[in-house]
Amino acid sequence: MERVSKNQKVSIAFYSVLVGLFLTGMKAVVGIATGSLGIISEALHSLLDLGAALMTFFSVKIATRPADTRHQFGHGKVENISALFESLLLLITCVWIVYEAIQRLFLKTVTVEVSIWSFIVMSAALILDILISRILYYGAKKYGSQALEADALHYSSDIFSSLVVIAGLIGVKFGLPILDPIAALAVAVLVSRASIRLGKKAVDELLDQAPSGLKEQIEAKVRSIEGVEDVSEIRLRKSGSSIFVDVVITAGRLTPLSQTDRLTDTIEREIKLLIPESDVMIHVNPSPEGESLPDKVRKIAQRFPEIKDVHNISYYHNKEDHGYFMSFHLKLSPSLTLNQAHELSENLEKTVKEELPMINEIASHLETDYPSPKGEKVVLDPGTIAALKQAILENRMVKGVHDIQLHVDQAGKILSCHVLLEENLSLEEAHRASMEVEEQIKSLIPDVTKVVVHSEPLGVY
């Protein structure tokens, strides 16, 4: 698909060359035959358009080449250089037209012969200018090509200048020959304005000026994506039809790598939807903003490779000293001695207090990490299951019970079950019901170590 679009760009540029060749020859023949400065200036303008069209054709062909080791951002800037040269050529032509027009107005007399061919050639030129300029503008917009846009600008200026020349010819026909050089001056003004505008745009893109308003659109789009805390920098660089986008975002420093990868993929996809021909680079900075105290402690603990996990983190505000008391459990390798484990916990507590001065008291619980505990599922007899169901259903908030299972591992017996509760219960009421079920189960099976009750809304079944 990309190869097809590149070929279409080159084809549009080639059509421009053919039109420029035809218009130049037609205007030159009639202009010399009639002596009309307006038509001669238009012939020179078309000759310049032909040269510009040739430059566009070759620059588009070069710009479509892929990036290589020496041109790592591709060859798109060739289009901007071509557009800049075209604008300079236009200005040079305008200087000659102004000079010759002043000569004819004040210093010499030139007889202009106006024939039907003068009007035919300018009318034909007007129609061709309208058609080719529309084709070029379509290609420039579709493929983001400044070279095609520059060429379209040439032919668009021809439309207005052709109208001015026709007006000058009409003036000569009715005995006002002064209108011919005046028409030529008007052409020069129109072409000069177009060339200056074109040259400025080419220079802006050569100096990597960001397209107006595009940075704000990208920033708004990126900020709206979930997981992005801040957008600290956006840089844009246009090269031909491609736009290189560098974005620096901030995300939570505890965000897992897989989630960060998905976040950058989402950002890249959204930017490409906004700018189809874009090359996107995203850099993610970690941010501690928005982290809870437990999150900060876990992040600190990651610096100690001997600590396998930090869990059961709880804390409260001590009104007496205006600080926080915190407690947590540390899972450590069973190969450590008690002295080593104690020293490790002391170092962690010290680091936490230094980096989080609001915590002035810490109590840590040490436990071993068993990499792969062994256990088994125990099949309960139907009588036990029936007794458990009957006891659980005595709770007025429980409307059903299923999946009663017993597992035994090195830590003891774990019994789990699913209970159905009314959908309109609050979370607090549901929690209280599950706690009551746990107590009922422990009263029936006193040696159970842990009871896990999974609450579900009645509408699920």
Alpha carbon distances (Å) from 305 to 146, 309, 328, 333: 56, 10, 17, 10
How does pLDDT run across 293-307, given as a tens digit for each residue?
Answer: 788 888 888 888 888
pLDDT given for residue 2 in this prediction:
44
Does residue 444 or residue 73 have the better pLDDT? 444
- Poorest-confidence range of 245-254, 282-291, 296-305, 329-338? 282-291
**Structural tokens at position 416:** 């789990």
pLDDT of 194 over the 70 cut: yes
Of 265, 287, 309, which residue is a domain's last? 287
CATH code of 161's domain:
1.20.1510.10
Same domain, 151 and 171: yes
pLDDT given for residue 43 in this prediction:
72
Same domain, 348 and 392: no
How does pLDDT run across 235-268, given as a tens digit for each residue?
Answer: 887 765 677 888 998 887 666 677 788 888 899 8
226, with CB counted inside 10 A (0-12, 13-18, 19+), is exposed
- Is the Cβ–Cβ distance between 84 and 161 less than 8 Å? no
Sheet of 323-332: strands edge to edge?
307-318, 323-332, 359-368
What value does the mean pLDDT take over residues 406-419? 84
Same domain, 308 and 456: no
Cα separation, 251 vs 261, in Å, equals 11
Q: Which residue has the tokens 């107590």?
A: 439
pLDDT of 78 over the 80 cut: no
What value does the mean pLDDT take over residues 368-373? 61
Burial 298-322 (b: 16+ CB within 10 A, else e): bbbbeebeebbebeebebeeeeeee
Same domain, 265 and 396: no
Of 206, 236, 255, which residue is a domain's last? 206
Same domain, 196 and 229: no
Give the domain extent around 401. 375-460
Same domain, 392 and 410: yes
Alpha carbon distances (Å) from 442 to 379, 382, 432, 439, 453: 18, 18, 16, 5, 12
Burial 269-291 (b: 16+ CB within 10 A, else e): eebeebbebbbbebebeebeeee
Share of the chain above pLDDT 70, in %: 74
- What is residue 213's three-state secondary structure? coil
Q: Which of 1-10, 201-210, 283-292, 435-444 has the highest mean pLDDT?
A: 435-444
pLDDT given for residue 389 in this prediction:
92
- What is residue 364's three-state secondary structure? strand
CA dihedral 145, 147, 149, 154 (to 10 degrees): -170
Of 368, 389, 419, which residue is a domain's last? 368
How does pLDDT run across 148-189, given as a tens digit for each residue?
Answer: 776 776 677 677 667 766 766 677 677 676 776 777 777 778
pLDDT of 132 over the 70 cut: yes
Cα separation, 141 vs 125, in Å, equals 24
Same domain, 341 and 360: yes
- Is the Cβ–Cβ distance between 273 and 221 less than 8 Å? no
How does pLDDT run across 307-319, given as a tens digit for each residue?
Answer: 888 888 887 776 6
Position 275 confidence tier, pLDDT thresholds 50, 70, 90:
confident
Q: Give the pTM.
A: 0.41
Position 284 confidence tier, pLDDT thresholds 50, 70, 90:
confident
pLDDT given for residue 351 in this prediction:
92
355 Cβ neighbours under 8 A, 6+ residues apart: 296, 300
Position 4 confidence tier, pLDDT thresholds 50, 70, 90:
very low
Cα separation, 298 vs 313, in Å, equals 9
CATH code of 424's domain:
3.30.70.1350
Cα separation, 346 vs 353, in Å, equals 11
pLDDT of 329 over the 70 cut: yes
Same domain, 193 and 311: no
Alpha carbon distances (Å) from 26 to 101, 124, 233, 275: 22, 9, 54, 42
- Mean pLDDT, the chain, whole residue set: 77
Domain count, the chain: 4
Same domain, 173 and 248: no
25, with CB counted inside 10 A (0-12, 13-18, 19+), is middle
Same domain, 269 and 130: no
Position 347 confidence tier, pLDDT thresholds 50, 70, 90:
very high
pLDDT given for residue 45 in this prediction:
66
- Is the Cβ–Cβ distance between 307 and 344 less than 8 Å? yes
What value does the mean pLDDT take over residues 58-75? 61
Cα separation, 251 vs 262, in Å, equals 12
pLDDT of 413 over the 70 cut: yes
Does residue 111 or residue 377 have the better pLDDT? 377
Cα separation, 459 vs 461, in Å, equals 5
Same domain, 52 and 193: yes
Sheet of 412-421: strands edge to edge?
375-378, 398-409, 412-421, 450-457
Same domain, 6 and 133: yes
